[in-house]
């Protein structure tokens, strides 16, 4: 006897036909019309994961572009100008892909830069870097959707997790649209790659290359090596893991040969790390500006940030009570990743000049003021908190899946609504960006080209980029030609 599940209400009954055989009889037909479309969509997501992933790549790339601050569309940010763009222009597009910088390799950012230099004139470099970075974000979202199927079989939860890639609230502040910060997408993608179960040779190759490129872009991916020991142990999974390990070993060697210079000089403790994480990874999920969030803490105390954490605590409780062993393990991994990926760069760089345990510094804090009066104060934490926000948000779809699997399907809407609220506030809210007021790259190139009209070709011109203290240098020959030397 085969039971035919009701496509509309998720249940069936057993009836008796005239012949005496027991036959399934679908009940709840009155509700069929209103829910048929929804169930057809879910079935399509489940049966066509590759097509869904490709659609998500397109949608996520568009969302990333739309969320870019207006000034960021025409600006080149920090390391993107010097050394990435200037080295690619001076040495040839691909000559610097494996050149260490700041103590490690940045392969994916340099590939995006190389493609920009290869195919676009100097005037359009800002556009090329921004577009290429958004495409990488979109590809990351598609990969997260496919990889997460190993631990989140429910398609709506996988779509929600994939969209986190481009919807985390702090993304537009520093990270979206510039190659310099693409390594945070590598951090977000890696645990999903290590948990994935590739089903074919082509998928295995794609996952291996993605894991390798992620590791060759950000050494922090080594934090997720313990996930290698999570069963099942299959040959194709080991190949993907090999990509992470090979890239990670290369990064370790690079860090020894060309060590990072640490700018911070503060001895930080647990309280500073915890407060920094609560402020940026938690409270800033709900509050659109640093100044407003700081005023809330100064006026009401740190319990405000603790209250902001409660929805995620509730999600964790749901997963513990209703989830499987696999979802509970994923919950532990996501929680540890959220805290660990904030603490690691913060501690390694000794806070970059910021100690969140110093309560007096919060009063009257404002992002723009800090950038103009004290350029390194609390400045770096925006990018440090992007991946932590992503991992924290991922606990909500995980809770929704736990409820769906345990049969409490009407309750699945609650964590997804919370996630939708965060997405809505992030998309519609006015989040001040570190790139507001940055100079227009095309205008700077036009000014330099005009100046070169009366100068020898070998004259080197230097102009300021953004933020303050960064600059870029090109020769008049490069500026006049518009393309790099072959």
The domain total for the chain is: 2
* Residue 446 to residues 120, 316, 479, Cα–Cα distance (Å): 15, 54, 9
DSSP state of 223: G
Q: Which residues contact 399 (CB under 8 A, 6 or more apart)?
A: 314, 315, 316, 318, 319, 415
Cα 324 from Cα 305, distance rounded (Å): 29
Based on the fold, state whether residues 306 and 195 are members of the same structural domain.
Answer: no
Residue 126 falls inside a structural domain:
yes
**Within a domain: residue 208?**
yes
Answer whether 32's CB lies under 8 Å from 25's CB.
no
d(CA 410, CA 340): 34
Same domain, yes or no: 233 and 371: no
Q: What is the pLDDT of residue 470?
A: 83
Which contiguous run of DSSP H or E holds residue 370?
helix 367-373
98 and 242 together in one domain: yes
Going from the C-alpha of 421 to that of each of 21, 430, 461, the distances in angstroms are: 51, 15, 48
Q: Which two tokens stand for residue 284?
A: 């800033």
DSSP label of 282: I
* Residues of the chain falling short of pLDDT 70: 1-47, 263-267, 351-355, 357-380, 430-432, 482-486
Tell whether 339 and 280 lie within a shared domain: yes
Domain of residue 226 covers 48-257
Q: Do residue 290 and residue 240 come from a single domain? A: no
Of 391, 415, 439, which closes a domain? Answer: 415
Give the pLDDT of residue 376: 36
227 and 105 share one domain: yes
**Chosen domain end from 396, 415, 434:** 415
Antiparallel, parallel or unpaired: β 13-16 and 22-25: antiparallel
Same domain, 63 and 195: yes
Dihedral pair phi/psi, residue 275, rounded to 5°: -70, -40
Is there a single domain that holds both residue 307 and residue 197?
A: no
d(CA 445, CA 474): 10
Beta strand spans in 352-398 (E) = none
What per-residue confidence (pLDDT) applies to 46? 59
Looking at the structure, tell me whether residues 114 and 243 fall in a common domain: yes
Residues 239 and 343 in one domain: no
Q: How far is residue 378's CA from residue 365's CA, in Å, rounded to a whole number?
A: 10
Confirm whether 190 is domain-assigned: yes
Q: Is 133 found in the same domain as 203?
A: yes
- Residue 352 included in any domain: yes
Q: So what's the pLDDT on residue 1?
A: 34
Same domain, 252 and 329: no
- Using the 3D structure, point to which of 400, 415, 430 is the last residue of a domain: 415
Residue 244 lies in a domain: yes
Whether 225 is covered by a domain: the verdict is yes
Tokens of 190: 């890696």
- Token readout for 398 is 């995980």
The answer to whether position 223 is within a domain reads: yes
């Amino acid at each position: 006897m085969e039971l035919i599940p009701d496509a509309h209400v998720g249940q069936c009954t057993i009836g008796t036909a005239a012949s005496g055989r027991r036959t399934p009889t679908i009940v709840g037909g009155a509700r069929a019309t209103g829910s048929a479309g929804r169930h057809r969509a879910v079935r399509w997501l489940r049966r066509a994961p590759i097509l869904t992933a490709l659609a998500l790549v397109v949608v996520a790339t568009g969302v990333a572009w739309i969320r870019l601050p207006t000034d960021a569309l025409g600006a080149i940010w920090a390391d993107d100008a010097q050394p990435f763009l200037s080295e690619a222009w001076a040495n040839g597009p691909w000559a610097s892909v494996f050149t260490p910088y700041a103590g490690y390799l940045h392969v994916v950012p340099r590939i995006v830069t190389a493609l920009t230099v290869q195919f676009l004139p100097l005037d359009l470099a800002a556009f090329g870097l921004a577009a290429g970075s958004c495409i990488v974000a979109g590809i990351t979202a598609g990969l997260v959707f496919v990889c997460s199927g190993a631990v989140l079989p429910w398609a709506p939860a996988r779509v929600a997790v994939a969209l986190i890639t481009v919807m985390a609230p702090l993304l537009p502040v520093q990270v979206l649209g510039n190659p310099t910060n693409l390594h945070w997408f590598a951090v977000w993608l890696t645990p999903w790659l290590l948990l994935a179960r590739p089903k074919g040779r082509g998928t295995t190759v794609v996952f291996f290359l993605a894991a390798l490129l992620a590791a060759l872009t950000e050494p922090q991916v080594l934090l997720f090596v313990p996930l290698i020991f999570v069963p099942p142990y299959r040959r194709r999974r080991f190949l993907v893991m090999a990509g992470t390990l090979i890239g990670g070993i290369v990064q370790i060697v690079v860090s020894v040969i060309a060590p990072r210079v640490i700018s911070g000089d503060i001895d930080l403790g647990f309280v500073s790390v915890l407060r920094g994480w609560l402020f940026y990874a938690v409270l800033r999920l709900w509050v659109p500006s640093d100044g407003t969030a700081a005023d809330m803490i100064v006026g009401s105390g740190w319990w405000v940030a603790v209250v902001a954490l409660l929805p995620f605590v509730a999600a964790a409780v749901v997963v513990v009570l209703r989830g499987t062993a696999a979802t509970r393990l994923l919950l532990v991994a996501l929680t540890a990743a959220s805290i660990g990926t904030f603490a690691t760069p913060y501690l390694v760089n000794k806070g970059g000049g910021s100690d969140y345990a110093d309560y007096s510094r919060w009063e009257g804090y404002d992002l723009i003021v800090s950038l103009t009066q004290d350029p390194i104060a609390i400045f770096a934490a925006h990018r440090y908190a992007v991946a932590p926000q992503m991992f924290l948000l991922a606990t909500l779809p995980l809770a929704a899946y736990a409820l769906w699997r345990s049969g409490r399907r009407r309750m699945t809407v609650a964590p997804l609504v919370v996630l939708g609220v965060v997405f809505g506030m992030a998309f519609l809210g006015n989040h001040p960006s570190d790139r507001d007021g940055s100079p227009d790259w095309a205008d700077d190139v036009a000014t330099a080209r005009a100046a070169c009209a009366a100068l020898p070709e070998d004259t080197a011109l230097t102009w300021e980029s953004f933020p303050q203290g960064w600059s870029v240098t090109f020769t008049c020959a490069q500026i006049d030609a518009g393309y790099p030397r072959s």
